[in-house]
Amino acid sequence: MLKKIWLSSPHMGKTEELYVKEAFDSNWIAPLGPNVQHFENSIEDYIGNNVHAACLSSGTGAIHLALELLGVGHGDEVLCQSFTFSASANPITYLGASPIFIDSEEDTWNLCPVLLEKAIENRIKKGKKPKAIVAVHLYGMPYKVDEINAISRKYDIPVVEDSAEALGSTYKGFQCGSLGEIGILSFNGNKIITTSGGGALLAKSEEIKRRAVFLATQARDNAPHYQHSHIGYNYRMSNVLAGIGRGQMEVLDDRVAARRNNFDFYRKNLSEVPGIRFLEEPRGTRSNRWLTCILTPSYKIRESIRLALGNENIESRPLWKPMHLQPVFKDAISFTNGISEALFEKGLCLPSGSNLEQMDLERICNVIKKELV
């Protein structure tokens, strides 16, 4: 059997083990400590734009805290990009609120500003102004930030910027994660850099960060004994895992470059294959190309490529199934235009790890060409 090629596997640099060892040597085996501090500082330096980073146990937890900090509560409605991973939407329900799903536009595959505004107008008319907007830079491609932020300002509805897949992507020179009211990152094992599991909340002020950390550490009041006047969570990142993150930040730019190279390789080598299309970067945006996605002419062709790759021990995956089509959200209100459904039907994510070799990429392209030419 040929070597397995994964969709997106962890890729360690040289210093992660050293920082983890530091945690052991100093006995900082706790949900705080010097590695957490260093990791947060390096995220803040990288993202810039005056963000304050709070490292957490997951990106999902970060979205949960972001929504709570923006005042989302029981009975509220939250607008959410439909074309995404379920973790963008699930935390809305943790708070007893309901997601309203909004379809995508064709230029970035992300939140459609036209439908977003239509949905807001509709909900306001029904006497129910939404409390927040969850917008996602899916596969690392920045959403239409200017358009979404203009709507956010016009209706005074804050944006939670789901940058779980977009660390290292930029919009008009600004890093993704710093473009909404609150940003979030994920360091899950398949993301562009990883701590095995983890996430971060990116706040616009020290005060918001302080409140995020407060909620993430069981909402302990300032007293010598344990006193609580809020319900809290156990969402802080371990100092051991933050050691991995500290090392990963040192190679982040290399990881982005490697993933962008994968994309360029695929586009160049599959350009002669009839019917295969790629998502181009709109002017002013730079995607980290977390996953390279192709659009095929039909569901049938998409499946034939996926199965052919599988037979060669190569992992690939259909694009995200839109939330408005998920059984668990069958009762949710949605505003659709058919775009995310078509993407789901015809799209495929190709192996995109930063640790892929030229040989692997050639192997993958050969299977696809053999299937289609």
Q: Which helix (H) or strand (E) holds 150?
A: helix 145-155
Nearest to 180 by CA among 199, 153, 210: 153
Size of the site for ligand PLP (CB under 6 A): 14
How far is the CA of 209 from the CAs of 52, 134, 204, 214, 222, in angstroms? 6, 19, 8, 8, 17
Contact status: 245 vs ligand PLP (CB under 6 A)? no
The contact mask relative to ligand PLP for 14-53 (x = CB under 6 A, - = no) is: ----------------------------------------
Pairing of strands 317-318, 347-350: antiparallel
- Per the CB < 8 A criterion, the answer to whether 256 and 192 are in contact is yes
Beta carbon nearer to ligand PLP, 194 or 361: 194
Provide the mask over 174-193, with x wherever binding to ligand PLP is found by CB under 6 A and - wherever it is not: ------------x-x-----
- Name which of 59 and 245 has its Cβ closer to ligand PLP: 59
Q: Which of 8, 42, 60, 82 binds ligand PLP (CB under 6 A)?
A: 60
Long-range contacts of 302-309 (CB under 8 A, 24+ apart): 302/345, 302/346, 302/347, 302/348, 304/371, 305/348, 305/367, 305/368, 305/371, 305/372, 306/348, 308/367, 308/368, 308/370, 308/371, 309/364, 309/367, 309/368
Strand 199-203: give its sheet, edge to edge.
52-56, 199-203, 182-186, 159-162, 132-136, 77-81, 98-102, 333-335
Nearer to ligand PLP, 148 or 368 (CB): 148
Closer to ligand PLP at the Cβ: 178 or 188? Answer: 188
Active site residue 3: no
Choose the stretch contacting ligand PLP; rule: CB under 6 A; options: 81-89, 121-129, 267-275, 336-344.
81-89
Q: Hey, which residues between 122 and 141 contact ligand PLP (CB under 6 A)?
A: 136
At 162, give phi and psi (nearest 5°). -80, 95
Is position 243 an interface residue for ligand PLP (rule: CB under 6 A)?
Answer: no
Residues in 254-273 at the binding interface with ligand PLP, rule: CB under 6 A: none
Of 165, 181, 341, 360, the one binding ligand PLP (CB under 6 A) is 165
Task: Select from 80-88, 120-128, 143-151, 238-246 the region that touches ligand PLP (CB under 6 A).
Answer: 80-88
**Does residue number 194 form part of the binding site for ligand PLP (CB under 6 A)?**
no
Beta bridge partners of 347: 295
Residue tagged active-site, from 144, 191, 209, 346: 191
| Cβ neighbours of residue 2 closer than 8 Å, sequence gap 6 or more | 312, 313, 363
One residue of 16, 44, 76, 162 binding ligand PLP per CB under 6 A? 162
Residue of the chain from 10, 31, 33, 59 that contacts ligand PLP (CB under 6 A):
59
Q: Would you count residue 199 as binding ligand PLP (CB under 6 A)?
A: yes
Contact (Cβ atoms closer than 8 angstroms) between residue 70 and residue 278: no
Residue 170's closest CA among 141, 131, 192, 205? 141
Least distance between ligand PLP and beta carbon 242 (Å): 14
Give the alpha-carbon dihedral of 282, 186, 329, 101, to 10 degrees: -30
58 binds ligand PLP (CB under 6 A): yes
| Residue with the CB atom nearest ligand PLP in the bound state | 59
Q: Counting contacts by CB under 6 A, is residue 8 touching ligand PLP?
A: no
Q: What is the DSSP letter of 93?
A: H
Site residues (vs ligand PLP, CB under 6 A):
58-60, 84-85, 87-88, 136, 162, 164-165, 186, 188, 199
Give catalytic residues, as residue numbers: 191
